[in-house]
Every structure is written in C-alpha cells, then in structure tokens.
Structure 1
Amino acid sequence: MPDLAPFLTGFGLSLGLIVAIGAQNAFVLRQGLRREHVGAVVAFCALADLALIAAGVAGLGAVLGRAPALVTGLSLGGAAFLGWYGLSALRRAWHPARLVAENGGEALTRAGALARVAAFTLLNPHVYLDTVLLVGSVGAAQPVGAHGPFVAGAGMASLVWFAALGFGARLLAPLFARPLAWRVLDLLVGAVMILLAAGLLNHVLTAAA
C-alpha cells in the first residue's frame, strides 16, 4: 500500500497557505461570479502553483543533497514558520474579516483575465516565499522517493481550492462574505499548520537521535 503521508503533507501545507483573503482569491471569485473565463483562470492559478512548488522542491532538493546539514536548518526554520503561521491564523480567528469580490466592472477578454491573474499571482512576493521557499524546503526535506507525491499533493490542493472558488463562486460568495466562515477556516488552518510544524520538528529530532 502506498505511503500517503507525503501526499497529505503537501496537500495540507499548500491548502493552508492559499486559503486566505487576498487579491488572487478575490479575482478568482469575481470571475466565477461573472462566469467569465473561469476554466482558464483556475487552470493558470493551479499550474502556476504546481510549477513554483516543483521548482522549489527540485532546486532546494539538489542543494540539500549536497549539503545535508542544511536539511536540519531548513526543517527547523520551516517548523518555526509553520508554528508562527498557525498561531497567526488562530489569532485571526478572533477578529475575522470578509472576502468580497466585485461582481461589476468591465467584461474581460480571456487574455485580459489571464494577464490580471498572472499579475496577482506572480507579482506577489509572498507567493515565492510560500511556494518556492517554504513549501519547497518542506518538500525537499521529505524522504527519498517522496518528493513526487509531496508535489502532487500540494498541486492537488491548489487545483481543488481554485476550482471550488471559481466554479462554486455563486454558492461560496455568500459564505465567504460572512466573518464566521473565515473564523472556522482560520481555526482549521491554524490547527493544520501547528500539526505540520510538530511533525516537521519530530522528523528533525528523530533524524538526530
């Protein structure tokens, strides 16, 4: 039976990072509400995440393969960041916000929609910190043979989230406009991130034993 742990780790980590109020998610929701080039926008977001995550895992994996001591350092740094992110999500749960998408405005061509979502995605510095550095470092620290399942899980999380947001916009928009929904999401994200941080820390301690 295949080991699902790397896949689930990648899925949980990626999902926890992308489920947040931001320009990219708001734009995907807007396109879904307008039913305008939804498939193209969703595909771009999911493929961009997959490419960045794979590049991060492959690049950092090559570096870590030549310098195993960096695995411990990056793993500890990743655990610290995940713990901080999880606690921040739990703190946000006490003061939840709303995700509101503008359903008006001009109609966009497919090229225009892709240009906008590309800007929201690739011009955001956090996407490189999150997907390339953080997810890449956690993925590169996975055991030999687990990099592929980890990347697949992380990519699947992006596809599931953006597809749900885009194609389910008319159902999800009223939900995400309610602070209570984000309170629940932040509680779940916080719990997942803290569990991942604990697992990464346990991996470092086990390897050092």
Structure 2
Amino acid sequence: MLSASGYLQGLTLGMGLIIAIGPKDAYVIRQSLLGRHLLVMMGICVGADIVLIALGTLGLGTVVARHDWVMQAAAIGGALFLCWHGLAALRSALGEIAVPDLSNGSDISLRQIVRGTCVMSFLNPLALLDSGLLIGVISGTKPESERLGFAVGAISASVIWFSLLIGGARVVAPLFRMPVMWKVLDFTIAAIMFVMAFVTVHSALAGGGSV
C-alpha cells in the first residue's frame, strides 16, 4: 500500500522541480502548438521521467551525490545545454517570421518527434539532474515504507505537468496565427534559458555541487 505522506511529498517536490520551462518543455510547447503527435510525445516525456525517477529512487541519485564533482559537471553541462537552446530561440526570434500552419502538423514525421523528444528527455543534463539525481537523493532520506509512494507522487507530477502543458498550448494555439506571437514566444524562451543557465552555474559553484 502506498504511503499517503510519501506520495504527497513526492508530488510536491516533483511539481516544484518539473514546473519550470526548460529545453524539454520549450520543445513540447512548440510541437503542441503545431499539434504534432501529441499523445506519443506525452508518452515519451512521462515515460522518460518514470525511468529516471525509478533509477534515482533505487539508489543511483544517492551514489552520485557523494561525488561533488559529478554534481558540478552535471550542472555545468545543463547550463551549456540551456545556453545552446537560448541561442537557438534568440536566433529564431531575430530572424524572419514564418508562421507555421497550425491546422496541419504533417510536415514533421513521427520518427522526428520520437527522436527529438527522446533527446530532450534523456540527453538533457537538467532532466537527469532533477528527475534522476535530486529526486533520488531526497528519496534516499525517506523511510523505506514511504519511498514507493514518494516515487509515484513524483511521477504523478510529471503526468499533471505535461498534460497541462500540452493541453494549454492547444488552447492558446489560435493566438499563434499572429506572427508576432512566435517572436514573443522565442524571446521569452531565450530569456528563461539564459537566466536558468546563470542560476544553475552559480548554484553549483557557490554551493559546492548543490543545485
């Protein structure tokens, strides 16, 4: 039987870590606006979080946390990943506007969506740090009777967040028939990426690997 206390703690922590616009979320928002293979994309996003959270709670996070240099390397790698996506968004915002056809997402294949979502889920250092390491480390501090509930709570947060993210994007999709909205989106994403990159590096270096 799941521990209600562990579940609520995992749900709360998961929402705190997951609800932030990172590279994976920015990718999901853009593809959701275009209506491209949404169920497949959501399945991969949540499935990836399940894998990472499971690995973390089984002990990987606690083992890695014992080595400060690994945590710092993950944070710096995450910051570089953020900067790369920030620059891509900035370049798109400053370039010529080409409004996609929101009524038809057939110009991108299912294989491309699967590949792109997997890259954002498994090769994103920030996702590894949050879902795999931090949740795993905190899970290791819980009594064994609460760990399963804690993991399920964190997974529930992922399901809730990506459901809201994808559903919300589809609701506001009509606004993105205006070219200026794509520039606003890209400028916003670029700003978030750069701020998060700075905070990630500052926290890692100032906190001795604690992010």
TM-score category (smaller protein): 0.5 to 0.7
Computed over aligned residues only, the root mean square deviation of the Cα atoms, in angstroms, reads 3.6
Number of aligned positions between the proteins: 148
What is the alpha-carbon distance in structure 1 between the residues aligned to residue 141 and residue 99 of structure 2? 42
Q: Matches of residues 51-70 of structure 1 in structure 2 within 5 Å? A: 51-60=51-60
For residue 112 of structure 2, what is the aligned residue in structure 1?
Answer: 112
TM score, norm. by length of structure 1: 0.59
For residue 138 of structure 2, what is the aligned residue in structure 1?
Answer: 138
Give yes or no for contact 1:33–1:103 (8 Å, CA) kept in 2.
no
Q: 1:113 offset after TM fit, Å?
A: 0.4
- Identify the range of structure 1 (21-30 vs 152-161) with the bigger mean alpha-carbon deviation: 21-30
CA deviations over 1:23-82 (Å, ceiling 9, x no partner) = 21111112221111000001101110111011111024896xxxxxx9xx89xxxxxxxx
Q: 1:110 offset after TM fit, Å?
A: 1.1
- Identify the range of structure 1 (49-58 vs 116-125) with the bigger mean alpha-carbon deviation: 116-125
Query: What are the ranges of 5 or more consecutive residues in structure 1 without an aligned counterpart?
Result: 64-69, 75-99, 180-209
Q: 1:157 offset after TM fit, Å?
A: 0.5
For residue 154 of structure 1, what is the aligned residue in structure 2?
Answer: 154
Q: Matches of residues 92-131 of structure 1 in structure 2 within 5 Å? A: 104=100, 107-131=107-131
For residue 167 of structure 1, what is the aligned residue in structure 2?
Answer: 167
Give yes or no for contact 2:2–2:148 (8 Å, CA) kept in 1.
no
Q: Matches of residues 1-209 of structure 1 in structure 2 within 5 Å? A: 3-60=3-60, 104=100, 107-171=107-171
CA deviations over 1:92-123 (Å, ceiling 9, x no partner) = xxxxxxxx9x9738821111101011112222
What is the alpha-carbon distance in structure 1 between the residues aligned to residue 47 and residue 172 of structure 2? 22
Give yes or no for contact 1:44–1:114 (8 Å, CA) kept in 2.
yes
Q: 1:104 to 1:18 in 2, by over 3 A?
A: farther
CA deviations over 1:129-153 (Å, ceiling 9, x no partner) = 2121110011121112211111111
What is the alpha-carbon distance in structure 2 between the residues aligned to residue 132 and residue 103 of structure 1? 37
Percentage of pairs with the same residue: 34
Query: What are the ranges of 5 or more consecutive residues in structure 2 without an aligned counterpart?
Result: 68-92, 176-183, 189-211
Q: 1:164 offset after TM fit, Å?
A: 1.4
| AA at the equivalent of 1:164 | L
